A and B are shown apart, each in its own frame.
Chain A
Amino acid sequence: MRHPVRLIALIVGALAFLFPFYYMLIGSLQAEPDTTPKGALPTGNLTLGNYADIDSRVDLGTALLNSGIFTGGVLLCTVVFGVLAGYALARLHFRGRTLVFNLMLLVQVVPFQLLTIPLYVLIVRTYGLGDTYLGMILPYAINSAAVFIFRQYFMQLPKELFEAAAIDGASELTILWRVALPLVRPALLTAVLLTFIGPWNEFLWPFLITKRADMQPLAVALANYMTNVAARAANPYGALLAGACVLAAPVVVLFIAFQKRFTATDIGSSVKG
């Protein structure tokens, strides 16, 4: 090894990043909370009881289903409408294109959280969409960052391809569906994965608009458990960490399975602009 310092820095970094996840798993399996350094090792005192415990307090099945519907709705809207918008911004010349493009950039600078109060007033009070999936999905429906990424991908395709298809008399929708989309399919997956993280992990918005426990996504249900119930449970951290593992697992598994798609070049093309 020519540069041990570099490798040591990386190893220390990786440990600092992975240890809390390991500890989350260990903590979720401890029958009795053991916070001594020895407790961090998997030596006896292990049980799956915490998972049953959290399931009895937070209906994990319903909560996971709610998270899934919320995330699925956002993904569907982002892929359908986002691809159309990204294609139009990249390939089509129409009045107002520059305006929409600039708006898309501006939207990404204005923190979404700051619109929380007016959106709450609009969606919950005016439209009565509290405790509905539609109300949860609407503010996230089309991910502007994804529209931007789609646009960048379509920009990179060679012009001649589109000209040839247009000469053949294909409509823009046909060109998008048959020529452009198949070519950007791998990139599409990256955008879908990045979009998935948003609603699955989101807390503030679904927390505000779901008061009924059977409509809450898992992140919200778990946070409510953390603030209200945990203090009274026998092994509060065990059940909490078991819930945390269930919430974290789908994203971590998806991420590891598709980690090749999160590469510098893929994301880079979207940041370089």
Chain B
Amino acid sequence: MRTLLGRHPIGLVFIAPYVVFLAAIFAYPLGIAVYMSFYDWFFAAPGAKVDRPFVGFDNYVAVFQDPAVLRSFLNIAIFLVINVPLTVGLSLVLATALNAAIPFRTFFRVSFYVPYVTASVAVVGVWLFLFNSDGLVNNVLGGLAPEPSWLVNSGLTMPLIAVYVTWKQLGFFILLYLAALQNVPKELYESAAVDGASRIRSFWTVTVPGVRPATTLVVLLATITGANLFTEPYLLTGGGGPDGASASPVLVMYQKGIEQGHAGVGAAIGMVLVIVVLVISLINRYLLERD
């Protein structure tokens, strides 16, 4: 019995609800997603017997030929190119500043975290107010205001969303870097100072390499956030507008899979996205963790 179940069989009882949850909410739906993505799966009245034929890779072919889907992946690439460096740079600099002995530390900490804990739906409301064509931002910019305005300018919507998400999530990443900074040995800074390194130089030679594991995590989490993007394009740019210029894959997945009822295609978009995220996270691990 002991060898079969382990030293504490009671552990199986403790873990059982969580295992059931993982099976029902992750493993089983993942299986269904794979299944659906190979069938012409559409919604029908409950109980109705409908024919949902096996279509092989047709859904995947449809995904890769659909300009809206391809555009949404390009949009996420734009998003990541802006969001990741901005997030890594700003959160590391602010975390380093917060880590020093500074006055009003609690105040600064709280103000950086507030956007992170607040619902995106609420914050999007005020960004709409700020960035609409008659909003405060354009009023302040006056003649410099972009034309067409921020939220209806196909060249500006995605960068604006990338900046919005950077701003919203930064507090969390500052927190991660603050934790990582506690692990950088103080002696390294002291010896750098003895060698006559300036503050900026010791930031580059001691801090940046010292928090590398955290940077891996930050890049990975930012990628996952990008892959999950939905609320911002749905609400901030009125459903990924203008003309799909800010649509995210999850938004397109929702439009195809649920609004238009092609659940098989929607599931295929989801599968492609899972694979892309896993590949990016593996590459990211390889690049940031080698040596």
Contact = CB atoms under 8 A, between A and B. Distances in A.
Contacts of A82: 18
Mostly, the A contact residues are helix
A201 B120 contact: yes
A145 to B, nearest CB: 11
B8 A172 contact: yes
B123 interface: yes
Contact of A142 (B6, B21, B217): B21
Contact of B43 (A35, A125, A227, A241): A125
A40 B33 CA distance: 49
A113 B14 contact: no
A103 interface: yes
Given A3-B100, A219-B119, A227-B238, A111 B126 contact: no
A252 B123 CA distance: 12
A117 B120 contact: no
Kindly name the residue among A110, A243, A245, A264 whose own CB sees the greatest number of chain B CB atoms within 10 A.
A264
Given A121-B36, A252-B118, A20 B26 contact: no
B283 interface: no
Interface string A63-89: 000000000000000000110110111
Contacts of A109: 220, 224, 277-278, 281
A204 B230 contact: yes
Contacts of B127: 20
Contacts of B5: 94-95
Nearest to B238: A227
Interface of A: 3, 6-7, 9-10, 13-14, 16-18, 20-21, 23-24, 27, 33, 35-37, 39-40, 81-82, 84-85, 87-89, 91-97, 100, 103-104, 107, 109-122, 125, 128, 138-139, 141-142, 144, 147, 171-173, 197, 200-201, 203-204, 208, 219-220, 222-223, 226-227, 237, 240-241, 243-245, 247-248, 251-252, 255-256, 259, 262, 264-265, 267-268, 271-272
